[in-house]
Amino acid sequence: MDRRQEILEAAAKSFTLFGYKATTMEQVAKIANVGKGTIYTFFANKEILFQEIAMSLVQEMKAEADAVLDSSVSFMDNAHNALMKMLQFREKHLLFAKLIEEEKELRTPAVKQVLVRIESEILSYVAALIQRRIDKGEIRDCDAELVSYLLLKAYLAFIVDWHELHDDKIPEEKILNLFKETIFRGLIL
């Protein structure tokens, strides 16, 4: 493994354990077993290092979503499967969870900026899926960007927010059926 990759892994570990605000370049250097100066040969500052790690999270999330896409199934099933996979990734990935927690508790500007960028990447991904299906004539012409926002926020509400306010989680099949009968029904030709 090269030094740059070792530094990225050490930084990801530090951000996961301590959060963005409490992570120092000294900690990253210690975890990576390199001198602090070595880090600066690859990354100008902590924020740039953090942003690169965050974007690697996005790439991992997209890869997981891509893995569940199936050209032989409906737009509804693909959209549902991709959104569920991305939200499951968001909930299970320890670094992502730490960032969300830090943003809620400390309102760290750099963390908020990265979370906004991650959301933007997710929305672009979903909008591209929608646009491809529009172009193929499988769903109605619509504003793919707005529909992707509607879908992401609605899925977040049922997957994440619902459980925070209620004692039980909504079964995935029930969520899919709800979306089929409402939002997806309006998109299907």
SS3 120: helix
Q: Which residues make Cβ contacts (< 8 Å) with residue 87, sequence separation at least 6?
A: 155, 156, 159, 160
**What local confidence, expressed as pLDDT, does residue 40 receive?**
95
- pLDDT tens for the chain, 189 residues long, are 699 999 999 999 999 999 999 999 999 999 999 999 999 999 999 999 999 999 998 999 999 999 999 989 999 999 999 999 998 888 788 888 899 899 999 999 999 999 999 999 999 999 999 999 999 999 999 999 999 999 999 999 998 889 888 989 899 999 999 999 999 999 998
**What local confidence, expressed as pLDDT, does residue 159 receive?**
87
Which helix (H) or strand (E) is 90 found in, with range?
A: helix 75-92
Q: Which residues make Cβ contacts (< 8 Å) with residue 127, sequence separation at least 6?
A: 144, 145, 147, 148
Rounded to an integer, what distance in angstroms lies between the CA atom of residue 139 and that of residue 65? 20
The torsion defined by the Cα of 40, 53, 103 and 16, in degrees rounded to 10, comes to: -90
Locate 49 and state its tokens.
Answer: 């290092």
**What local confidence, expressed as pLDDT, does residue 1 receive?**
61
CB atoms within 10 A of CB 1: 7
Rounded to an integer, what distance in angstroms lies between the CA atom of residue 179 and that of residue 186? 10
Q: What is the model's pTM?
A: 0.86
